[in-house]
A = this chain, B = another copy of it.
Amino acid sequence: MRKVAIIGAGMTPFGERWESGFRELVVEAGVKAITDARISGDKIDAGFIGTMASGRLIGQEHIGALIADYMGLNPIPVTRVEGACASGSLALRQGISAVASGMHDIVVVGGVEKMTDLGVSTVSDILGGAGDQEWELFLGATFPAIYALMAKRHMQEFGTTEEMMASVAVKNHKHGAKNKYAQFPREITMETVMASKMIADPLKVFDCSPITDGAAGVVLAPLDIAESFTKKPIEILSSAQASDAIALHSRDSMTGLKAAQVAGKKAFDMAKLAPKDINFAEVHDCFTIAEIMAIEDLGFFKKGDGGPASMEGRTTLSGEIPINTSGGLKACGHPVGATGIKQAVECVWQLRGEAEGRQVKDAHIGLSHNVGGSGATAVVHIYKNK
Protein backbone atom coordinates (compact mmCIF):
# COMPACT_ATOMS: atom_id res chain seq x y z
CA MET A 1 0.00 0.00 0.00
CA ARG A 2 1.53 3.30 -1.10
CA LYS A 3 1.71 6.18 1.35
CA VAL A 4 -0.39 9.20 0.42
CA ALA A 5 0.18 12.95 0.85
CA ILE A 6 -1.81 16.11 0.34
CA ILE A 7 0.02 18.41 -2.07
CA GLY A 8 -2.62 21.12 -2.51
CA ALA A 9 -5.57 22.57 -0.59
CA GLY A 10 -8.15 25.30 -1.05
CA MET A 11 -11.67 26.33 -0.15
CA THR A 12 -14.32 28.90 -0.98
CA PRO A 13 -15.50 31.38 1.60
CA PHE A 14 -18.35 29.69 3.49
CA GLY A 15 -21.67 31.49 3.88
CA GLU A 16 -24.75 32.51 1.94
CA ARG A 17 -23.31 32.43 -1.54
CA TRP A 18 -26.25 33.86 -3.50
CA GLU A 19 -23.99 34.84 -6.37
CA SER A 20 -22.63 31.34 -6.96
CA GLY A 21 -24.36 28.11 -7.93
CA PHE A 22 -23.33 24.58 -6.97
CA ARG A 23 -21.14 24.28 -10.06
CA GLU A 24 -19.35 27.59 -9.50
CA LEU A 25 -18.59 26.71 -5.87
CA VAL A 26 -16.95 23.42 -6.90
CA VAL A 27 -14.88 25.08 -9.61
CA GLU A 28 -13.81 27.88 -7.24
CA ALA A 29 -12.53 25.43 -4.60
CA GLY A 30 -11.12 22.97 -7.12
CA VAL A 31 -9.11 25.58 -8.99
CA LYS A 32 -7.71 26.89 -5.69
CA ALA A 33 -6.58 23.40 -4.66
CA ILE A 34 -5.06 22.65 -8.07
CA THR A 35 -3.31 26.03 -8.21
CA ASP A 36 -2.00 25.50 -4.70
CA ALA A 37 -0.54 22.15 -5.82
CA ARG A 38 1.10 23.94 -8.78
CA ILE A 39 -0.11 21.33 -11.26
CA SER A 40 -1.92 21.68 -14.54
CA GLY A 41 -5.26 19.95 -15.03
CA ASP A 42 -3.83 17.35 -17.40
CA LYS A 43 -1.77 15.88 -14.56
CA ILE A 44 -4.93 14.83 -12.72
CA ASP A 45 -5.86 11.14 -13.02
CA ALA A 46 -9.15 10.99 -11.12
CA GLY A 47 -11.50 12.87 -8.85
CA PHE A 48 -13.87 12.21 -5.97
CA ILE A 49 -16.56 14.55 -4.68
CA GLY A 50 -18.49 14.39 -1.43
CA THR A 51 -21.98 15.85 -1.36
CA MET A 52 -24.95 14.77 0.70
CA ALA A 53 -28.20 15.86 -0.82
CA SER A 54 -27.72 17.47 -4.22
CA GLY A 55 -30.76 15.61 -5.52
CA ARG A 56 -33.15 17.28 -3.09
CA LEU A 57 -31.26 20.56 -2.67
CA ILE A 58 -30.64 21.41 -6.34
CA GLY A 59 -32.43 18.68 -8.36
CA GLN A 60 -29.16 17.29 -9.69
CA GLU A 61 -27.59 13.84 -9.29
CA HIS A 62 -24.68 12.43 -11.34
CA ILE A 63 -22.43 14.91 -9.57
CA GLY A 64 -19.15 13.25 -10.49
CA ALA A 65 -19.79 13.72 -14.21
CA LEU A 66 -21.11 17.24 -13.69
CA ILE A 67 -17.91 18.20 -11.96
CA ALA A 68 -15.59 16.48 -14.44
CA ASP A 69 -17.39 18.57 -17.05
CA TYR A 70 -17.39 21.96 -15.31
CA MET A 71 -13.81 21.54 -14.07
CA GLY A 72 -12.71 20.72 -17.63
CA LEU A 73 -11.41 17.32 -16.50
CA ASN A 74 -13.07 15.03 -19.10
CA PRO A 75 -12.49 12.18 -19.76
CA ILE A 76 -10.98 11.32 -16.36
CA PRO A 77 -13.17 9.41 -13.89
CA VAL A 78 -14.87 11.52 -11.20
CA THR A 79 -17.02 9.77 -8.61
CA ARG A 80 -19.52 11.11 -6.09
CA VAL A 81 -19.52 9.71 -2.57
CA GLU A 82 -22.27 10.24 0.00
CA GLY A 83 -22.29 9.68 3.74
CA ALA A 84 -24.53 12.49 5.00
CA CYS A 85 -22.46 15.13 6.85
CA ALA A 86 -19.38 12.86 6.54
CA SER A 87 -19.58 12.83 2.71
CA GLY A 88 -16.41 14.91 2.38
CA SER A 89 -14.29 12.59 4.52
CA LEU A 90 -15.66 9.54 2.72
CA ALA A 91 -14.65 11.09 -0.59
CA LEU A 92 -11.19 11.71 0.89
CA ARG A 93 -11.00 8.03 1.87
CA GLN A 94 -11.81 6.94 -1.69
CA GLY A 95 -9.13 9.26 -3.01
CA ILE A 96 -6.61 7.81 -0.55
CA SER A 97 -7.63 4.27 -1.56
CA ALA A 98 -7.20 5.10 -5.27
CA VAL A 99 -3.68 6.47 -4.73
CA ALA A 100 -2.70 3.81 -2.18
CA SER A 101 -3.77 1.02 -4.54
CA GLY A 102 -1.82 2.44 -7.46
CA MET A 103 -5.00 2.78 -9.54
CA HIS A 104 -4.27 6.51 -9.83
CA ASP A 105 -1.42 8.90 -8.99
CA ILE A 106 -2.75 12.45 -8.80
CA VAL A 107 -6.29 12.66 -7.43
CA VAL A 108 -8.42 15.72 -6.65
CA VAL A 109 -10.95 15.35 -3.85
CA GLY A 110 -13.69 17.88 -3.23
CA GLY A 111 -16.67 18.44 -1.00
CA VAL A 112 -19.60 20.75 -1.65
CA GLU A 113 -23.09 21.67 -0.59
CA LYS A 114 -25.38 24.45 -1.81
CA MET A 115 -28.01 24.79 0.89
CA THR A 116 -29.27 28.32 1.29
CA ASP A 117 -31.51 28.47 -1.79
CA LEU A 118 -34.32 26.67 0.03
CA GLY A 119 -36.21 27.58 3.20
CA VAL A 120 -34.94 26.46 6.60
CA SER A 121 -37.77 24.00 7.24
CA THR A 122 -37.27 22.34 3.86
CA VAL A 123 -33.53 22.07 4.45
CA SER A 124 -34.14 20.72 7.94
CA ASP A 125 -36.38 18.04 6.42
CA ILE A 126 -33.72 17.17 3.83
CA LEU A 127 -31.02 16.97 6.52
CA GLY A 128 -33.33 14.63 8.43
CA GLY A 129 -32.58 12.13 5.66
CA ALA A 130 -29.20 11.66 7.36
CA GLY A 131 -30.97 9.97 10.26
CA ASP A 132 -33.44 7.11 10.08
CA GLN A 133 -36.26 8.78 8.18
CA GLU A 134 -38.77 5.98 8.85
CA TRP A 135 -38.20 5.89 12.61
CA GLU A 136 -36.97 9.40 13.43
CA LEU A 137 -37.78 12.12 10.91
CA PHE A 138 -41.32 10.93 10.14
CA LEU A 139 -42.03 11.21 13.86
CA GLY A 140 -40.65 14.73 14.06
CA ALA A 141 -37.15 14.02 15.28
CA THR A 142 -35.06 16.50 13.30
CA PHE A 143 -31.35 16.84 14.07
CA PRO A 144 -31.55 19.53 16.76
CA ALA A 145 -34.06 17.31 18.59
CA ILE A 146 -31.83 14.23 18.33
CA TYR A 147 -28.76 16.07 19.60
CA ALA A 148 -30.87 17.67 22.35
CA LEU A 149 -31.67 14.17 23.62
CA MET A 150 -27.95 13.38 23.72
CA ALA A 151 -27.25 16.68 25.50
CA LYS A 152 -29.90 16.02 28.15
CA ARG A 153 -28.52 12.57 28.83
CA HIS A 154 -24.95 13.92 29.00
CA MET A 155 -26.12 16.54 31.50
CA GLN A 156 -27.82 13.90 33.62
CA GLU A 157 -24.97 11.41 33.63
CA PHE A 158 -22.00 13.75 33.93
CA GLY A 159 -23.33 17.04 35.25
CA THR A 160 -22.56 18.83 31.99
CA THR A 161 -24.18 22.28 32.03
CA GLU A 162 -25.67 24.61 29.44
CA GLU A 163 -22.83 27.04 30.20
CA MET A 164 -20.23 24.38 29.39
CA MET A 165 -21.90 23.83 26.03
CA ALA A 166 -22.10 27.57 25.46
CA SER A 167 -18.36 27.85 26.13
CA VAL A 168 -17.76 25.68 23.05
CA ALA A 169 -19.68 28.16 20.90
CA VAL A 170 -17.82 31.14 22.39
CA LYS A 171 -14.45 29.45 21.78
CA ASN A 172 -15.26 28.43 18.19
CA HIS A 173 -16.49 31.92 17.31
CA LYS A 174 -13.25 33.29 18.79
CA HIS A 175 -11.27 30.99 16.50
CA GLY A 176 -13.56 31.65 13.53
CA ALA A 177 -13.08 35.41 13.92
CA LYS A 178 -9.50 34.80 12.73
CA ASN A 179 -10.59 32.82 9.66
CA LYS A 180 -11.38 34.86 6.56
CA TYR A 181 -13.30 31.93 5.07
CA ALA A 182 -15.71 31.67 8.03
CA GLN A 183 -19.44 32.27 7.67
CA PHE A 184 -19.56 34.05 11.06
CA PRO A 185 -16.12 35.58 11.65
CA ARG A 186 -17.17 37.38 14.83
CA GLU A 187 -16.70 36.80 18.52
CA ILE A 188 -19.72 36.23 20.74
CA THR A 189 -20.15 36.23 24.50
CA MET A 190 -21.46 33.61 26.88
CA GLU A 191 -24.44 35.91 27.54
CA THR A 192 -25.33 35.96 23.84
CA VAL A 193 -25.41 32.17 23.69
CA MET A 194 -27.35 31.76 26.94
CA ALA A 195 -29.94 34.38 25.99
CA SER A 196 -30.43 33.07 22.46
CA LYS A 197 -33.63 31.42 21.30
CA MET A 198 -34.29 27.85 22.41
CA ILE A 199 -34.38 25.45 19.45
CA ALA A 200 -34.64 22.06 21.16
CA ASP A 201 -34.14 22.16 24.91
CA PRO A 202 -31.30 22.52 26.03
CA LEU A 203 -29.87 23.57 22.64
CA LYS A 204 -30.25 27.24 21.74
CA VAL A 205 -29.68 28.75 18.33
CA PHE A 206 -26.06 29.56 19.22
CA ASP A 207 -25.48 25.90 20.13
CA CYS A 208 -26.29 24.95 16.53
CA SER A 209 -24.18 25.08 13.39
CA PRO A 210 -25.68 27.11 10.54
CA ILE A 211 -26.95 26.28 7.05
CA THR A 212 -24.17 27.12 4.61
CA ASP A 213 -23.05 27.16 0.99
CA GLY A 214 -19.47 26.24 0.27
CA ALA A 215 -16.89 23.90 -1.18
CA ALA A 216 -13.36 22.74 -0.40
CA GLY A 217 -10.76 20.68 -2.22
CA VAL A 218 -7.44 18.88 -1.76
CA VAL A 219 -5.02 17.27 -4.19
CA LEU A 220 -3.48 13.88 -3.31
CA ALA A 221 -0.29 12.26 -4.59
CA PRO A 222 1.88 9.30 -3.61
CA LEU A 223 4.11 10.46 -0.74
CA ASP A 224 7.30 9.42 -2.52
CA ILE A 225 6.77 11.93 -5.34
CA ALA A 226 4.97 14.60 -3.30
CA GLU A 227 8.04 16.75 -2.83
CA SER A 228 8.36 17.20 -6.58
CA PHE A 229 5.16 19.30 -6.33
CA THR A 230 5.47 21.09 -3.01
CA LYS A 231 8.05 21.84 -0.34
CA LYS A 232 5.46 21.08 2.32
CA PRO A 233 3.65 17.83 1.58
CA ILE A 234 1.32 16.69 4.34
CA GLU A 235 1.35 12.95 4.91
CA ILE A 236 -1.92 11.19 5.70
CA LEU A 237 -0.93 8.80 8.46
CA SER A 238 -4.29 7.15 8.82
CA SER A 239 -7.83 7.04 7.49
CA ALA A 240 -10.45 5.17 9.50
CA GLN A 241 -14.23 4.88 9.18
CA ALA A 242 -16.82 3.12 11.33
CA SER A 243 -20.59 2.67 11.40
CA ASP A 244 -23.22 2.51 14.13
CA ALA A 245 -27.01 2.14 14.26
CA ILE A 246 -28.58 4.90 12.19
CA ALA A 247 -31.34 5.63 14.71
CA LEU A 248 -30.39 6.97 18.14
CA HIS A 249 -32.76 4.60 19.96
CA SER A 250 -30.83 1.54 18.73
CA ARG A 251 -27.46 2.65 20.12
CA ASP A 252 -25.66 1.30 23.17
CA SER A 253 -25.16 4.79 24.57
CA MET A 254 -26.51 8.29 24.05
CA THR A 255 -23.58 10.12 25.62
CA GLY A 256 -20.96 9.25 23.04
CA LEU A 257 -20.68 8.06 19.46
CA LYS A 258 -19.43 4.49 19.28
CA ALA A 259 -18.57 4.90 15.59
CA ALA A 260 -16.27 7.81 16.50
CA GLN A 261 -14.68 5.79 19.29
CA VAL A 262 -14.05 2.83 16.94
CA ALA A 263 -12.79 5.01 14.07
CA GLY A 264 -10.62 7.03 16.46
CA LYS A 265 -9.00 3.94 17.97
CA LYS A 266 -8.37 2.49 14.52
CA ALA A 267 -6.83 5.75 13.30
CA PHE A 268 -4.52 5.95 16.32
CA ASP A 269 -3.52 2.28 15.86
CA MET A 270 -2.76 2.81 12.15
CA ALA A 271 -0.62 5.85 12.92
CA LYS A 272 0.93 4.20 16.00
CA LEU A 273 0.01 7.27 17.99
CA ALA A 274 -2.01 8.12 21.09
CA PRO A 275 -4.34 11.08 21.75
CA LYS A 276 -1.53 12.88 23.63
CA ASP A 277 0.52 12.92 20.39
CA ILE A 278 -2.03 15.07 18.56
CA ASN A 279 -1.23 18.80 18.49
CA PHE A 280 -4.65 20.02 17.35
CA ALA A 281 -7.91 18.67 15.96
CA GLU A 282 -10.84 19.68 13.79
CA VAL A 283 -13.91 17.92 15.21
CA HIS A 284 -17.54 17.71 14.12
CA ASP A 285 -19.31 20.36 16.23
CA CYS A 286 -22.68 20.36 14.44
CA PHE A 287 -23.99 21.19 17.90
CA THR A 288 -21.94 22.27 20.91
CA ILE A 289 -22.70 18.98 22.71
CA ALA A 290 -21.24 17.15 19.68
CA GLU A 291 -17.83 18.77 20.27
CA ILE A 292 -17.92 17.81 23.94
CA MET A 293 -18.70 14.20 23.03
CA ALA A 294 -16.06 14.24 20.26
CA ILE A 295 -13.16 15.28 22.47
CA GLU A 296 -14.19 12.51 24.89
CA ASP A 297 -14.75 9.87 22.18
CA LEU A 298 -11.31 10.58 20.71
CA GLY A 299 -9.65 10.17 24.11
CA PHE A 300 -8.44 13.77 24.53
CA PHE A 301 -10.47 13.86 27.75
CA LYS A 302 -12.14 11.18 29.88
CA LYS A 303 -15.86 10.57 29.25
CA GLY A 304 -17.68 13.22 31.23
CA ASP A 305 -14.73 15.61 31.39
CA GLY A 306 -15.39 17.24 28.00
CA GLY A 307 -17.72 19.89 29.39
CA PRO A 308 -15.46 21.10 32.21
CA ALA A 309 -12.42 20.96 29.90
CA SER A 310 -14.20 23.24 27.42
CA MET A 311 -15.31 25.59 30.18
CA GLU A 312 -11.75 25.78 31.54
CA GLY A 313 -10.30 26.80 28.17
CA ARG A 314 -8.26 23.64 27.70
CA THR A 315 -9.40 23.41 24.03
CA THR A 316 -8.64 26.99 22.98
CA LEU A 317 -5.89 28.00 20.58
CA SER A 318 -3.47 28.39 23.49
CA GLY A 319 -4.86 25.45 25.46
CA GLU A 320 -3.40 21.96 25.74
CA ILE A 321 -5.24 20.65 22.68
CA PRO A 322 -6.63 23.35 20.37
CA ILE A 323 -9.95 22.19 18.96
CA ASN A 324 -11.54 23.66 15.83
CA THR A 325 -9.08 26.40 15.03
CA SER A 326 -11.04 27.03 11.81
CA GLY A 327 -14.06 28.02 13.88
CA GLY A 328 -15.53 24.57 13.43
CA LEU A 329 -18.91 23.87 11.91
CA LYS A 330 -20.29 26.36 14.40
CA ALA A 331 -18.57 29.57 13.23
CA CYS A 332 -16.87 28.59 9.95
CA GLY A 333 -20.15 27.07 8.72
CA HIS A 334 -21.40 23.64 7.71
CA PRO A 335 -22.05 23.01 4.01
CA VAL A 336 -22.49 19.35 4.85
CA GLY A 337 -20.66 17.65 1.98
CA ALA A 338 -17.80 20.17 2.18
CA THR A 339 -17.15 19.96 5.92
CA GLY A 340 -14.88 16.88 5.89
CA ILE A 341 -12.66 18.40 3.21
CA LYS A 342 -12.63 21.80 4.93
CA GLN A 343 -11.33 20.03 8.06
CA ALA A 344 -8.53 18.52 5.95
CA VAL A 345 -7.76 21.95 4.44
CA GLU A 346 -7.49 23.51 7.91
CA CYS A 347 -5.19 20.67 9.02
CA VAL A 348 -2.99 21.28 5.96
CA TRP A 349 -2.77 25.01 6.67
CA GLN A 350 -1.93 24.44 10.33
CA LEU A 351 0.72 21.83 9.51
CA ARG A 352 2.30 24.11 6.90
CA GLY A 353 2.34 27.00 9.37
CA GLU A 354 -0.03 28.99 7.15
CA ALA A 355 -2.99 29.44 9.51
CA GLU A 356 -2.59 33.19 9.75
CA GLY A 357 -3.80 34.68 13.03
CA ARG A 358 -4.83 31.29 14.44
CA GLN A 359 -1.63 29.25 14.02
CA VAL A 360 -1.11 26.45 16.53
CA LYS A 361 2.45 26.62 17.88
CA ASP A 362 4.70 23.73 16.86
CA ALA A 363 1.93 21.98 14.95
CA HIS A 364 3.32 18.66 13.82
CA ILE A 365 0.41 16.21 13.91
CA GLY A 366 -3.26 17.06 13.35
CA LEU A 367 -6.51 15.08 13.39
CA SER A 368 -9.91 15.51 11.76
CA HIS A 369 -13.14 13.93 13.02
CA ASN A 370 -16.17 14.03 10.74
CA VAL A 371 -19.58 12.60 11.65
CA GLY A 372 -22.46 11.53 9.43
CA GLY A 373 -25.98 12.12 10.76
CA SER A 374 -26.24 11.69 14.51
CA GLY A 375 -23.24 9.35 14.56
CA ALA A 376 -24.04 6.38 12.30
CA THR A 377 -20.88 7.16 10.35
CA ALA A 378 -17.66 8.56 11.77
CA VAL A 379 -14.39 9.17 9.95
CA VAL A 380 -11.04 10.06 11.50
CA HIS A 381 -7.93 11.13 9.61
CA ILE A 382 -4.49 11.89 11.06
CA TYR A 383 -2.05 14.15 9.22
CA LYS A 384 1.66 14.90 9.72
CA ASN A 385 4.09 17.43 8.29
CA LYS A 386 7.65 16.50 7.41
Q: Which of A's residues lie within 8 Å of B, judged by CB?
A: 1, 52-53, 55-56, 58-66, 68-69, 73-84, 90, 93-94, 97-98, 100-103, 126, 129-134, 137, 241-247, 250, 258-259, 262, 372-373, 376-377
In the bound complex, do residue A75 and residue B242 qualify as a contact, i.e. CB atoms below 8 Å apart? yes
16 A-B residue pairs with Cβ-Cβ distance under 8 Å, sorted by A, are: A1-B101, A53-B61, A55-B55, A55-B129, A56-B56, A59-B129, A62-B373, A62-B376, A66-B132, A73-B243, A74-B242, A77-B243, A79-B94, A80-B81, A94-B97, A97-B98
- When distances are taken between beta carbons in the complex, the residues of chain B under 8 Å from A246 are 62, 65-66, 69
Given contacts A61-B129, A62-B130, A66-B132, 16 further A-B contacts (CB under 8 A): A62-B376, A64-B372, A65-B84, A65-B373, A65-B376, A65-B377, A66-B376, A68-B376, A69-B244, A69-B376, A74-B242, A78-B243, A79-B83, A94-B97, A97-B98, A98-B101
Expressed in whole angstroms, the Cα–Cα distance for A262 and B376 within the complex equals 38
Task: Return chain B residues, CB-CB under 8 Å to A98.
Answer: 97, 101
The answer to whether B242 touches A77 (Cβ under 8 A) is yes
**Cβ–Cβ contact A60 & B133, under 8 A:** yes
Report the bound CA distance from A317 to B377 in whole Å.
Answer: 45
Please pick, from B60, B64, B129, B244, the residue contacting A83 in the complex, using a CB distance under 8 A.
Answer: B64
**In terms of DSSP, what is the predominant structure of the interface of chain A?**
mixed
Determine the chain B residues whose CB is within 8 A of the CB of A69 once the complex forms: 243-247, 250, 376
Whether B103 pairs with A83 at a CB distance below 8 angstroms is: no
Instruction: Pick the contact of A101: B100, B131, B242, B373 (CB < 8 A).
Output: B100
A241 to B79 Cα, complex, angstroms: 9
Q: Across the interface, which residues of B come within 8 angstroms of A90, CB to CB?
A: 64, 79
- Name A379's closest neighbour in chain B (CB-CB): B77
Residues of B close to A64: CB separation below 8 A: 82-83, 90, 243, 372, 377
Which among B59, B97, B243 is the interface contact of A133 at CB below 8 angstroms? B59
A71 to chain B: closest residue by CB: B243
